[in-house]
Amino acid sequence: MSKRASAFFAPVVMVCLILPASAASERLAVVDPGYEVHDVILSAQDADHWYSSGLEVVHVHGAARCFLTLWNTTQDWPNPPAAGNGLTLSLYDHQGNRVLDLATYTDPLNMDEDPGNDVTMYPQCVKCNPAGDTIFVSYTANDTKGRWNVSDWICSVPWDESLAVYQPTPLVMTARFALPGNWEVGWSTDPSPPPAGQGGRMFFSGFLPTPPWPEQTAGIYCERDGVLQPVVEMGGYPSGFAFDHQGNLWVAEAHIGSVPNAILMWTAAQIHEAVLTEVLLTRTEAVAMIETPDNLSGGDVVCDGAGNAYFSLNGGQSFIGQIVRIDHAEGPTWPGATTPICETKGYYDWQRSLAFDGSADVGTGGGVVFVDMDQATPGVTPPTLVGIAATLDTDADTIPDALDNCRQTANADQADADGDGIGDVCEGDCDGDGKVGASDLPYVAEAYGASGGVPETAWPADLDGDGDVDGKDLAGFACNLRVNP
């Protein structure tokens, strides 16, 4: 994050953590020794932040990572939400401190004059579109008669990385699509956009319209001209999905019962044909079908920058969830098994949404997969994100490079007083190489005393975030230069 961004953050951060930004995980245990897991505890649960679900990584001012997550509210804190509640979309910094609430939403049934039709709203997913200008969230709802999926919607809110539009009060989300049992939102990565392919088109998971409940089954939809068109019938309950870098669709099934759960994949060509012909693809037409370990059911899917797919899996016969990986392949021969990466430490400790931050292969240090852990006891169990990264640790400070806020200078405490994503011992690292050194001097020289504000390329040189680079910043830079020869 730039110093300009950190200066903006200063007045709106509500609560600071005692824990460092990245602490060894209390929720997940490593299975593959090539990876490490570290917790980020989200701060400050209250009446407007009771139970969270959905996760997205965003970058404020194009720099340090932040997290978006969706909460439901409760009118009777700390008791659980009841009919008539609402939703809050919140932004957290990389340390887990809540920065501010971006948007709220209350179902129309909770705003009319009839309390008899009120619903309890439950958050599901959070995703930012590829253009980076809109955030989509979804929720499901049940009424006071015990009926589920009575008002399930996908909503949207503009994304503004300056955060200005969300102040002084949060925005109100816009309802976009009604979809019973909605679970996930994603975009095709097919290299060919319509009409030659489906690249860039928006997809959703939810219940198919027929047959009716309780025989209702899950499927994947695409959005065409404002209408949701069913594309895939996969059975079971709705679950997460993702497109790899070739536009192939990966899904982990969520059958509850005798049907074995499997990870399924349909090619970009199959998806394109199904959209054009309006003929549903079925489970049996999947090009890849890989049984999940221990018959675990699907939570979410995310692909890294190299096309490797990661799956959050829960339940099963042992009730110990796992994060597993399927390596990228070009086809026509596809992987036949999963590689377990980590697993939950406790029974029924579910893993839900996944988000990727990076540009390459997580397994070689090219990024991080974050998982949103289900709150076993909302209001008691702290809401936790877990970062999963390769063990590559250049400065040997026990923090993997992909999670380290100062990669080439040891700082196991990850101290970051201004919350800008740059470790205190790396303040002044203008060229982003993970240390303060001679290569940063040209940026500092450019910024020192510059009129019209600090050049964008030299924001990290403004150590105190006051909008200019002066003698105070030079003193701090010189100090860190001595620490990082």
pLDDT tens for each residue of 61-79:
656 789 999 999 998 888 8
Confidence at residue 6, expressed as pLDDT on a 0 to 100 scale:
38
For 115-138, the pLDDT digits (tens) are 889 999 999 999 999 999 999 999
Please state, rounded to an integer, the average pLDDT across all residues of the chain: 84
Average pLDDT over residues 91-99: 92
Residue 66 near residue 57, CB atoms below 8 Å: yes
Cα–Cα dist 163/12, whole Å: 11
Confidence at residue 45, expressed as pLDDT on a 0 to 100 scale:
85
Bridge-based pairing state of the strands 339-344 and 262-266: unpaired
Indicate the range of 38-52, 74-88, 291-305, 323-337 predicted with least confidence: 323-337
Confidence at residue 214, expressed as pLDDT on a 0 to 100 scale:
61
CATH superfamily of the 23-396 domain: TolB, C-terminal domain (2.120.10.30)
Instruction: Report the largest interatomic distance among the alpha carbons of the chain, rounded to a whole angstrom.
Output: 71
Torsion angles phi and psi, residue 183, rounded to 5: -135, -35
Torsion angles phi and psi, residue 275, rounded to 5: -65, -45
For 388-419, the pLDDT digits (tens) are 998 877 777 777 777 777 776 788 888 777 66
**233 confidence band (pLDDT: 50, 70, 90):** very high
Nearest alpha-carbon partner for 62 in 172, 159, 165, 171: 159
Nearest alpha-carbon partner for 88 in 98, 76, 78: 98
Confidence at residue 268, expressed as pLDDT on a 0 to 100 scale:
96
Indicate the range of 144-148, 215-219, 329-333, 429-433 predicted with least confidence: 429-433
Cα–Cα dist 60/419, whole Å: 12
Q: Does residue 21 surpass a pLDDT of 50?
A: no
Average pLDDT over residues 462-484: 59
Average pLDDT over residues 445-467: 63
Average pLDDT over residues 359-364: 92
Look at 9 and 28; give whichever has higher pLDDT.
28
Confidence at residue 213, expressed as pLDDT on a 0 to 100 scale:
60
Q: Does residue 3 surpass a pLDDT of 80?
A: no
Confidence at residue 472, expressed as pLDDT on a 0 to 100 scale:
60
Confidence at residue 321, expressed as pLDDT on a 0 to 100 scale:
92
Residue 52 near residue 383, CB atoms below 8 Å: yes
Q: What percent of the chain has pLDDT over 90?
A: 57
- Spans of all domains in the chain: 23-396, 403-483
Confidence at residue 423, expressed as pLDDT on a 0 to 100 scale:
73
For residue 379, the 8-state DSSP code is: T
Residue 21 near residue 42, CB atoms below 8 Å: no
CA 298 to mean position of chain CA atoms? 16
Token pair of 104 as six digits: 């709220």
Confidence at residue 14, expressed as pLDDT on a 0 to 100 scale:
34
Q: Does residue 349 surpass a pLDDT of 90?
A: no
Residues in the chain: 485
Surface-to-core class of residue 35, CB atoms within 10 Å of its CB (0-12 exposed, 13-18 middle, 19+ buried): buried
Confidence at residue 19, expressed as pLDDT on a 0 to 100 scale:
39
Within 10 Å of residue 32's Cβ, how many Cβ atoms?
Answer: 16
Indicate the range of 300-304, 334-338, 475-479 predicted with least confidence: 475-479
